[in-house]
Amino acid sequence: MRGGPTWDRYSEAPLVAVGIHPPWVITADEDGRLVRWDLHSGVRVETTSLCLPPRGLSVDTEGHIAVLVPGSVIVLREGTQPARIAVRDPVQAAFSRCGKRLAVVAADGSCSLIDLETRAVVAPLEVRGQIIGVAAGPRDAWLLTTAGGVHRVAAFGGRAELVRAAPATGPIACSAIDDTVAFATAAGVTVMRVEAHHQRSTAWVGALEVTGIAFGQPGHLAVKRTIKGIVLRDLAEDREYRINL
């Protein structure tokens, strides 16, 4: 692995979630701050106070942000007022490819599909087992991750199909973009293609440090959030960029 530049930045409180929408890295901390960092320089560009402790966030291809807070999801879209949608115990969310729907995973392992225009639940996304992750997959499908692996479900719900088994150690966290899924496990981070027969596995970070991972929208940049900060990995060039917060 080739070396890369290092960011050394200070965060006022422990990080809860991280996302990427070039040219930004977006973080949320325990004190309710939503911060945009310049992806290339690490400069803090903007800080927004959420007034609530966030549990996670999701960023779509247009830069719209869904912030998970106790009892609801706050959707931030350019040119519009923030929309707060009541959701029971949200822990993870993902925008659809078109940006008009939001899939939200609850603490009990269920997943609901929300229409962002009407702010109503239009369908449950169901699979056998508790859901720990959701992402927009290829051809408008959803990719739902359980302890057993990745399942594909149609755009508006329906029968789930297991498309990739999870690593034997079981996932701690997961993220997906297009047809590529990354699992953080006790053995490290595994990156695999949903519809391919090969996979690549690399123990990038010690198991006790990995708390979350996310893909940047171009698909070649993965993010792993650790107790020490953020590690950005360029999958195409096999290079890491560290952000120590």
Q: What pLDDT digit, counting tens, does each position of 3-16 carry?
A: 444 466 667 888 88
Confidence class of residue 1 from pLDDT cuts 50, 70 and 90? very low
How many independent structural domains does the chain possess? Answer: 1
The domain in which residue 163 lies consists of 6-244
Q: What pLDDT digit, counting tens, does each position of 152-188 carry?
A: 899 888 888 887 777 666 666 667 666 677 777 666 6
**pLDDT attached to residue 212:** 65
| Joined tokens for residue 7 | 């960011």
Alpha carbon distance 203, 230 (integer Å)? 16
Burial 27-42, CB ≥16 within 10 A → b, else e = bbbeebbbbbbebeeb
User: In the chain, what percentage of residues exceed pLDDT 70?
Assistant: 66
Residue 1 lies in a domain: no
Residue 138 lies in a domain: yes
Residue 151 lies in a domain: yes
User: In the chain, what percentage of residues exceed pLDDT 90?
Assistant: 22
Backbone angles phi, psi at 11, to 5 degrees: -110, 130
**pLDDT attached to residue 238:** 62
Query: Over 50: is that where the pLDDT of 207 sits?
Result: no
Alpha carbon distance 153, 125 (integer Å)? 7
Confidence class of residue 214 from pLDDT cuts 50, 70 and 90? low
Q: What pLDDT digit, counting tens, does each position of 29-42 carry?
A: 889 999 998 887 88
Residue 35 lies in a domain: yes
Residue 22 lies in a domain: yes
Which residues are paired to 193 by β-bridges?
A: 180
Range in 81-95, 101-115, 202-216 the model is least confident about: 202-216
Query: What is the rounded (10 degree) CA torsion for 7, 8, 9, 13?
Result: 120
CATH no. for residue 63? Answer: 2.130.10.10
**pLDDT attached to residue 112:** 94
Handedness of CA 237, 98, 137, 56 (dihedral sign): positive
